[in-house]
Amino acid sequence: MELSAEQQKMMAEISQASGLAPKAKPITQIEDEEVTRFSSGDSELDLVLGGGIVPGSLVLIGGSPGIGKSTLLLKIGGNLAKRNSKILYVSGEESGAQIKMRANRLGANHESLYLLSEIRLEAVMAEVSQNGYDLIIIDSIQTLYSDSIPSAPGSVTQVRTITFDLMRMAKEKQIPVFIIGHITKEGSIAGPRVLEHMVDTVLYFEGDASREIRMLRAFKNRFGSTSEVGIFEMTHEGLVSAKNIASKFFSRGKPNAGSAVTVIMEGTRPLVIEVQALVAESGYGNPKRSTTGYDASRLTMLLALLEKKLDLPFNQYDVFVNIAGGIKINEPAADLAIIAAIISSFRNRPLSDESVFIGEVSLIGDIREVFHLEQRLREAQTLGFSKAILPNKPSFKTPMKCYVAEEVAKVVEWM
């Protein structure tokens, strides 16, 4: 049955009045939207965000206490304030005077950076709608609470509801909002994990609070890739881009047994790092395995492989593995270096300090190629290394002397 023009109009009116106007459109008719971004004034943060801050985005920055969340965001607030943006820094943790002291140290003092020591969400919202801001920083989500919810500040319900309200505000007003979330060990306070699905971008700080190097990694990003990593160094002036950290993850000098160097990729950046192993005869019972910055089950696998392929009696030895500089390794390209370090410690024989070890070790004991080999070798060469132990001959020209070890036994031979 055909509807007359009159009928069609009436139908449209009825459905509009009932709020049921059809809204779905063919995807081809949806207009493309360019994501606009602006710089945070910090090249590392921009990199992790996928090129800068997106208006109206909600960004969660998580990390353990003391890692540098407040430091980074206060600095960003200062950067943007200096470029004529009006910034609101809400703190439920520190007094204005405390924050001011930090801002002095970071060089973030500026009249366009506003501080609000407040824990009531309603008061924060009122401030934003009355005075208008270009960017808002919440430090931290766990200290805010909403009057409308009976549960305690920091509880899952509180944290979720507040985040939802902040999200709505961010989208409506097209203001970016940065939320700090503490990673806590106690279960009584909701960690940032419960918010991951709600926000646009999730960044986590990694690193040891007692060391200077901090990594900022994207775990989720609706506006960009999650492959880039920001690398910072904690200094008196705050977190500064650790562009020139290249040589911070290994030490040169008298070679020591149990130390081997590899090149890992952090995002698009190659990093030369030192892995350390300590192999020591164990007492009775179960030998100990312990790792810092390296996957413990991967170590167990490598040890089992060495036992099986090379007849090394690791079941009678404690094995400890540590990655220098407080870095965490998530890629298998370091396997070869781990093995080399373990054997070097076991035999108490230092490795040549001119060599880097790059290769993934498989369960059957062969050594596999890794991505971005050219970049890795170039970085190693820049830092003064001259030899590389690799699974196969590189297909490109390199001034490095390359030794091929296509299986674990060959590494031992080389050593």
Ligand X SMILES: Nc1ncnc2c1ncn2[C@@H]1O[C@H](COP(=O)(O)OP(=O)(O)O)[C@@H](O)[C@H]1O
Answer for the pair 229, 50: CB distance below 8 angstroms, yes or no.
Answer: no
The runs of H, that is alpha helices, within 65-120 are: 69-81, 96-106
CA 248/CA 383 separation, integer angstroms: 11
How far apart CA 161 and CA 184 sit, in angstroms, is 19
Stretch near ligand X under the rule CB under 6 A, chosen from 61-69, 243-251, 297-305, 406-414: 61-69
Residue 236 binds to ligand X (criterion: CB under 6 A): yes
Among 37, 69, 75, 110, interactor with ligand X by CB under 6 A: 69
* Burial of 86 per CB tally in 10 Å (0-12, 13-18, 19+): middle
User: Using CB under 6 A, which of 9, 12, 43, 66 touches ligand X?
Assistant: 66
70 binds ligand X (CB under 6 A): yes
Q: Point out which span in 67-75, 245-253, 293-301, 398-406 binds ligand X (CB under 6 A).
A: 67-75
Q: Is 406 exposed, middle or buried (0-12, 13-18, 19+ CB in 10 A)?
A: middle
Q: Which is nearer to Mg ion, 91 or 259 (CB)?
A: 91
Does 70 sit near Mg ion (CB under 5 A)?
A: yes
DSSP for 277-293, please give it. Answer: EEEEE--SSSPPEEEES
* # chain residues binding Mg ion, by CB under 5 A: 1
Decide whether 209 or 310 has the Cβ nearer to Mg ion.
209
* Residue 321 Cβ vs ligand X, minimum distance, rounded to whole Å: 26
Residues 113 and 78 sit within 8 Å (Cβ to Cβ): yes
Q: Is 234 in the site for ligand X (CB under 6 A)?
A: yes
Segment lying near Mg ion (by CB under 5 A), choices 64-72, 81-89, 101-109, 267-275: 64-72
Strand locations in 122-268 (E) = 135-139, 177-182, 201-206, 213-221, 229-235, 238-241, 259-266
**Residue 235 pairs with which residues in a beta bridge?**
238
Q: Does 65 sit near ligand X (CB under 6 A)?
A: yes
63 binds ligand X (CB under 6 A): yes
Binding site partner of 299, from Mg ion, ligand X, none, Cβ cut-off 5-8 A by kind: none
Pick between residue 232 and residue 385 the one whose CB is nearest to ligand X.
Answer: 232
Among Mg ion, ligand X, none, the one that 183 touches (CB under a kind-dependent 5 to 8 A) is: none
Shorter beta-carbon distance to Mg ion: residue 94 or 360: 94
The piece of 11-19, 66-74, 167-175, 358-366 that touches ligand X (CB under 6 A) is 66-74
Of residues 130 and 210, the one with the C-beta less far from ligand X: 210
Nearest to 370 by CA among 401, 348, 337: 337
What one-character-per-residue DSSP string does 379-409 give? Answer: HHHHTT--EEEESS--SS--SSEEEE--BHH
Q: Which stretch binds ligand X (CB under 6 A): 63-71, 141-149, 170-178, 393-401?
A: 63-71
C-alpha of 297 from chain center: 22
Report the C-alpha gap between 238 and 107 in whole angstroms: 9
The item of Mg ion, ligand X, none sharing an interface with residue 376, based on CB under 5 to 8 Å by kind, is none
The span from the CA of 21 to the CA of 372, in Å, is 53
Distance, CA of 302 to CA of 340 (rounded, Å): 11
Identify which range of 65-73, 129-137, 323-331, 398-406 contacts ligand X by CB under 6 A.
65-73
23 binding partner (options ligand X, Mg ion, none; Cβ < 5 to 8 Å by kind): none
Q: CA 152 to CA 271: how far, in whole Å?
A: 44
Q: How far apart are CA 266 and CA 274, in angstroms?
A: 15
Total number of residues that touch ligand X (CB under 6 A): 12
Contact 112/81 with Cβ under 8 angstroms? yes
Q: Is 209 in the site for ligand X (CB under 6 A)?
A: yes
Instruction: Give the pair of three-digit tokens for residue 142.
Output: 């766990």
With CB under 5 to 8 Å by kind, the binding choice for 63 among ligand X, Mg ion, none is ligand X
Q: Say whether 139 sits in a helix, a strand or coil.
A: strand
- Rank residues 70 and 259 by Cβ distance to Mg ion and give the closer one: 70
Q: Which one of 63-71, 329-337, 343-351, 406-414 is the stretch in contact with Mg ion (CB under 5 A)? A: 63-71
Least distance in angstroms from the C-beta of 99 to ligand X = 10
x/- binding map, residues 87-126, to ligand X, per CB under 6 A? ------------------x---------------------
Q: Does 71 bind ligand X (CB under 6 A)?
A: yes
Total residues found in the chain within this entry: 415
* Cβ closest to ligand X, residue 68 vs residue 154: 68
**Which residues contact Mg ion (rule: CB under 5 A)?**
70
**Which residues contact ligand X (rule: CB under 6 A)?**
63, 65-71, 105, 209, 234, 236
